[in-house]
Amino acid sequence: MTWGRTFYWCAVAVLLLPALALSGVRLLEPDHARAIQLGAFTPYGLPLYAAALLLLLAGLLRGAGRRAVVLGGAALALAGLLLHAWWYAPLVTGATPAAAADATPVRLVTANLFKGAGDAVELLETAVDADVDVLVVSELTTGAVAEMEAAGLDEAFPHRTGEAGGGTEGTMVFSRQPVEVVQTLDTTFDGLLVRTAGLSLLAVHPYPPVDPEAWRDDHAQIRALAASGDATVIAGDLNATLDQAPLRALVDDGFRDSAELANAGVEATWPVGGDFPVLSALPPTVGIDHVLVTDEWTVTETRTVDVSGADHRAVLVSLAARGDG
C-alpha cells in the first residue's frame, strides 16, 4: 500500500470511527459515564458521516482500494448519514403551532450561574431589558442573590421561591407575579414545581452524567412529576440533550423542546469557559439547557444569551397559549 492510500484510509477512519461511536451510543445507551457524555454529541455524526461518504465516493472514482471495500464503506457511511438525519430532522422541520389570537406571551429565562461565578447582575439586567416574566436560575449562591438584590432584584421580580446554595445546589424561581409552590423534588440539586405567570412550571437541575446512577435517578423523579400532568413547562439545566434517553422519554410523554418547536436546530448552551478549557476554546457544542412545553403552549421566540463568567449560555423563550388550529 502506498503512502497516499495509507493516508486516505487513515482519513476515512478518522471520520468514520467517531461517527460509528456516536451512532452506537445513541442506539445502545450504555450505562457508562463517558459513553453517556459522548451521546450529547450525537448531532455531530451528520457532518462526520457526510465527509466520510464524500471521501469514499472520491476514492471509488480514483481506485483508492478494492472496489467492494470502498463500496461497503460508502454504504455504511450513507446508512449512518440517513440515520442521523432522521434523528436530527425534527429540530429543523415541521410547522410551528400558532398562538391563540388573544394569547399574552410569557417570557422566561433559564440560566446556570456556574457555582455563583456567573455575573448575576448582568443576568438580571438582561432579564429586565428583555421584559422577562419568569427567571429560573440554577447554581445560584447566596452571594449572587445579594448582588442581585443590590441591583434591584425585588423591584424587577418581587416574587421568588427556592433556595440559594453555596455552589451547585442552589435553584430558585423569580417572577413578576405571585409564586405558588406546588411540590418540591428531592433531586441532588433540588427542583420545584410552581405556578406563576400562568405557567405550571417545573424548575429543575438534575445531576450531570458523571455519575450515571444519580443522573438517571434525578431524571426519573423529574419524569414522574412531569407525567403526573401538573407540569406544563419544564425549564432548567437538564444536563442532557434531546438525543439522550431522559429527554427522549419526556418527548414521548408529550413535551416538546422550545428549539424544536421553533425549528431552531440545536441551541448549544455548553460549555462556555468553566472547567473544560479545550472545549471552551470553541463555541458551545451541546444543548443541555432547555425549556420543554406540553401541547398547551407554543413558542414565539427562542434564543441563547451569554452570561459573563458562567459556563452555560442562558436560554430565553417566549411562550404563548396555543391556538385551536
What's the CATH code of the domain at 261? 3.60.10.10
- Are residues 176 and 282 both part of a single domain? yes
66 and 207 in a single domain? The answer is no
In this structure, the answer to whether residues 137 and 273 fall within a common structural domain is: yes
Residue 54 has a pLDDT of 96
CA distances (Å), origin 285, targets 45, 76, 211, 281: 13, 26, 21, 11
Beta bridge partners of residue 114, listed in sequence order: none
pLDDT at 276 over 80: no
Q: Are residues 121 and 209 both part of a single domain?
A: yes
Tell me, what's the pLDDT at 170?
87
pTM: 0.94
pLDDT at position 274:
62
| 83 and 220, same domain (yes or no) | no
pLDDT tens-digit map of 94-134: 889 999 999 999 999 999 999 999 999 999 999 999 999 99
First-to-last CA distance in the chain? 63
Tell whether 9 and 137 lie within a shared domain.
no
Residue 248 has pLDDT above 90, yes or no: yes
Identify whether 100 is part of a domain: no
Cell numbers of 198, please?
Answer: 400562568
The pLDDT-based confidence of 65 (bands split at 50, 70, 90) is low
Residue 295 lies in a domain: yes
* Residues 78 and 144 grouped into a single domain: no
Amino acid (1-letter code) at residue 222: I
Task: Please report which confidence band the pLDDT of residue 278 belongs to, taking 50, 70 and 90 as the band edges.
Answer: low
Number of domains in the chain: 2
97 in a structural domain = no
- 205-225 residue pLDDT tens: 999 999 999 999 999 999 999
Mean pLDDT value across the chain: 93
Verify that 164 and 249 share a domain, yes or no. Answer: yes
Q: Pick from 61, 91, 121: which residue ends a domain?
A: 91
Distance from C-alpha of 239 to C-alpha of 83, rounded to nearest angstrom: 24
Q: Are residues 220 and 123 in the same domain?
A: yes
- Omega before residue 271 within 30° of 0, cis: yes
Q: Please indicate, yes or no, whether residues 289 and 246 belong to a single structural domain of this protein.
A: yes
Cα–Cα distance measured from residue 88 to residue 25, given in angstroms and rounded to the nearest whole number: 15
| Residue 47 pLDDT level (bands cut at 50, 70, 90) | very high
pLDDT at res. 1: 55
Q: Looking at the chain, which runs of residues are DSSP E strands?
A: 106-112, 134-138, 159-163, 171-175, 180-185, 191-196, 199-204, 233-237, 256-257, 289-293, 297-305, 314-321
Q: Confirm whether 65 is domain-assigned.
A: yes
Of 25, 59, 91, the residue that ends a domain is 91
Query: What is d(CA 320, CA 325) in angstroms, rounded to the nearest whole number?
Result: 14
Q: In whole angstroms, give the CA distance from residue 325 to residue 308.
A: 41
220 and 314 fall within a common domain: yes
Grid cell listed for 8: 486516505
Task: Count Cβ atoms below 10 Å from residue 203 Cβ, excluding itself.
Answer: 26
Which of 91, 118, 146 represents a domain boundary (last residue)?
91
Query: What is the residue range of 129's domain?
Result: 106-321
Distance, in Å, from the CA atom of 176 to the CA atom of 157, rounded to the nearest integer, reads 5
Within-domain flag for 45 = yes
What are the cell numbers at 83?
440515520
